Structure 1
Amino acid sequence: MYLKERIKQLAKENAPGYIKIRRHLHQNPELSFQEHRTCAFVKEELQKIGIIEIISVAGTGLLATIRGKGGGKNILLRADMDALPIFEKNNIGFVSKNKGVMHACGHDAHMASLLLCAKILYSLKNEFIGTLQLLFQPGEESMPGGATLVQKEKGYQDLGILPHLGQHVRPDLPVGKVGFCVGKFMASMDELFLKVTGKGGHAATPENTVDPVLIASHIIVAAQQLVSRMSSPKIPSVLSFGKVIANGAINIIPDNVSIEGTFRTLDETWRQQALKKLEKLVTSVAEGMGGKCELTINHGYPCLLNDKGLTYVSKENAISYLGEENVIDSDIWMASEDFAYYSQNNPSCFYLLGVGNEIEGIDSGLHTPTFNIDETAIETGGGLMAWLAIQYLNNQ
């Protein structure tokens, strides 16, 4: 009981300073794999805490170590660092100074929370047995994903297999609450690029053309069979096309149409089957109409798997820290995260941190120009992660 109350006290005392850090990070966002100033700032903050074991990973990331008493277990805590190419539209006193770049996915809050967590854990290093790894990871928003680069680093590989904890802000979850999901949690993600080729011409003489716009329309509709008729209803799958370009005119049928989209699922075996079926489907539809379709697939992140044992224990520890009323069972989330790469090889728990506050008007979605957080979530996020880590290490 003493340790839990001490963590809560440290979280409350130090939260205002780390809210200021979050605002600094929010004002100075950097895109994926360009987080040079962010990396330097985070390293300086870690050193202020007293942490000296810090190595560079993945170019613009950091891996820091806090050692407790004696040997014991090892656990890794992760936060991502990069921002998104979005023009911020918030009316706040700390909007992005880097026009066209914004922390619209909460990575500023992730970093601030982990830094607060580091402050707490370093203060209590004589209260736990084992070792804590703090990973500040770049490039989560851009493929191939910073996680893939971290995993190639010798410093990371030397850690061996160990539990990974991570958290992600959710604006539709009220501040003060967290959510856990056991097993398959977040979807795989593959980027789809289709080039439909026909024969252009005058819109008044369609008989002399092979209309790629019409072919593209049939492809978009027919491709939905992949989800509605080819996949098992027991496997969540999403196929969405968000970009279609046909550079013709009101009286010009173009030669080509480009289509861009994404396929997501929660089953790796079906994922591979589905992409093969999709290629065959779009090719045959185009050929049947006299044209051609080329499909290029950028293979993205795999499914994110939350380890049953680690997630169950983490949820129970969260209940003891926040109260049962503030810990929910989360549903699957069809978004994707490169934390999934860690979860494929290590027992992992990726959970949700509530940051929404409808009364204060803080309810904009992730990846939007008006996304923001209720900053009291920094205290919750930093304190809870410290508690989860210490509980894991001390329960040998």
Structure 2
Amino acid sequence: MIQPERIRELAAAQAADVVALRHHLHAHPELSFEEHETVAFVKQQLESLGLKPQPIAGTGLVALIEGRNPGRRAVALRADMDALPIQEQNEVPYRSQNPGVMHACGHDVHTSSLLGAARILVQLRNEFEGTVKLMFQPGEERLPGGASVMIREGVLENPAPQSVLGQHVFPQLPAGKIGIRAGRYMASTDELYLTVRGKGGHGAMPEQNLDPVLVAAHLIVAAQQIVSRRANPKMPSVLSFGKVIANGATNVIPNEVYIEGTFRTMNEQWRQEAHQHLRQLCEGLAASMGAECELEIRNGYPCLENDEATTARTKAAAETYLGADNVVELDQWMAAEDFAYFSQAAPSCFYRLGTRAADGRFASSVHTPTFDIDHAALETGPGLMAWLALQELAAE
């Protein structure tokens, strides 16, 4: 039986190499579904290990590490590879070389960690039973989400994994720790686009117009009652409007008002019910005021729910590898992640990897131009992923 000390030694021995992998990826970020150089680099790394990666979802890859008796059991490990349209402000040797594009969400950390885990597992392939499926995913930051495309193209088949594990950077925790939560963890996310139409005209003669600005104001306020009065108080729900365009003037009432927002929750049935309530409210309230309202709802990622049994095993294994004090219980988070598609399709666990330095450095949030990590996380991340995979393969 492989002991955690063995994995820690292998992780420590390759830590500098994993940091170099991350630096290369960080310096060459690519946007969602445009990860051509990234996937070529990852493919080269996997082939150097003797693996045979196969393309999937356009700019994604899947590869198998087969141990003894490969058909006994399978576990899938996922890393996303895309970057964000952000101009990096960090003055570091490995800063982004692509203007306006940055690995500000840590996907370079995820990819290098999975490559590091692959290096460890390849060295141990004669000592474990089963198959580890490596999933390098494109397009997490952009609908419809690379996870959904990979699933549609069969990534969870041949072999079908008994569980899927994923990790994500978490600057709120110091390097060496992870955060985990069983059950509902992250929200669904839907995009709302409303157009309120009335009749514009001179602001001094409102009786001759049908003011869509007034209707829009009523809609924005009234829509909140869907969360405050229609949702179960025990079910997290968020309705936010972040963009309102009424392109008139101080004395000009426009013909229409354009609104954008987001709706998020953690229950798929309530999600669909809320959509109906929103449609009825928008159409009915606008009509009652003599206007029209057109609502487009673009379905985003579903709720991310960590399987109870898989998460319990992951937590126990992480405590063995890191120590119980370094495994933290997470609160629910209303952000969204397309790993949710995996969690809807197979028993899954999505956990958070601490990346902040002990002295407080590297505390910038994800999706900011100053995000960076304590590189000690690049010893924890690969080793833990390899250890968790082995424990899943050994589970009954």
TM over 0.5: yes
C-alpha RMSD of the superposition:
1.5
Counterpart in the other structure of 1:68:
67
Query: 1:54-93 maps to which residues of 2 (within 5 A)?
Result: 54-71=53-70, 72-93=72-93
Counterpart in the other structure of 1:224:
224
Secondary structure in 2 aligned to 1:332? Answer: coil
Counterpart in the other structure of 1:129:
129
Counterpart in the other structure of 1:292:
292
Structure 1 Cα separation of the partners of residues 305 and 155 of structure 2? 24
Structure 1 Cα separation of the partners of residues 196 and 263 of structure 2? 18
How much does 1:312 deviate?
A: 0.2
Structure 1 Cα separation of the partners of residues 170 and 336 of structure 2? 14
CA deviation digits over 1:156-211, x for unaligned, max 9? Answer: 43323521000111111222111111111111111110111111112222222222
Structure 2 Cα separation of the partners of residues 16 and 98 of structure 1? 24
Question: Aligned residues: percent identity?
Answer: 55
Query: 1:245-260 maps to which residues of 2 (within 5 A)?
Result: 245-260=245-260
CA deviation digits over 1:249-293, x for unaligned, max 9? Answer: 222221111111111111111000001001111222222222111
State TM-score, norm by structure 1.
0.96
Secondary structure in 2 aligned to 1:70? Answer: coil
Counterpart in the other structure of 2:167:
167
How much does 1:5 deviate?
A: 1.0
Query: 1:240-279 maps to which residues of 2 (within 5 A)?
Result: 240-279=240-279
Question: More deviation in 209-218 or 33-42?
Answer: 209-218
Structure 1 Cα separation of the partners of residues 112 and 221 of structure 2? 44
Q: 1:232 to 1:64 in 2, by over 3 A?
A: same
Structure 2 Cα separation of the partners of residues 251 and 197 of structure 1? 18
Structure 1 Cα separation of the partners of residues 116 and 50 of structure 2? 13
Q: Which runs of at least 4 in structure 1 moved beyond 3 Å after TM superposition?
A: none
Residue type at the aligned position of 2:219: I
Residue type at the aligned position of 1:254: P
Residue type at the aligned position of 1:65: L
Secondary structure in 1 aligned to 2:120? Answer: helix
Secondary structure in 2 aligned to 1:66? Answer: strand
Query: 1:1-396 maps to which residues of 2 (within 5 A)?
Result: 3-51=3-51, 53-71=52-70, 72-154=72-154, 156-357=156-357, 359-396=359-396
How much does 1:21 deviate?
A: 1.1
Structure 2 Cα separation of the partners of residues 146 and 23 of structure 1? 23
**1:82–1:138 Cα contact (<8 Å) kept:** yes
Question: More deviation in 318-327 or 238-247?
Answer: 238-247
CA deviation digits over 1:24-44, x for unaligned, max 9? Answer: 111111111111111000011
Structure 2 Cα separation of the partners of residues 78 and 2 of structure 1? 22
How much does 1:319 deviate?
A: 0.3
**1:211–1:253 Cα contact (<8 Å) kept:** yes
Gaps of 5+ in 1: none
Question: More deviation in 176-185 or 152-161?
Answer: 152-161
Question: What is the count of residue pairs matched by the alignment?
Answer: 395
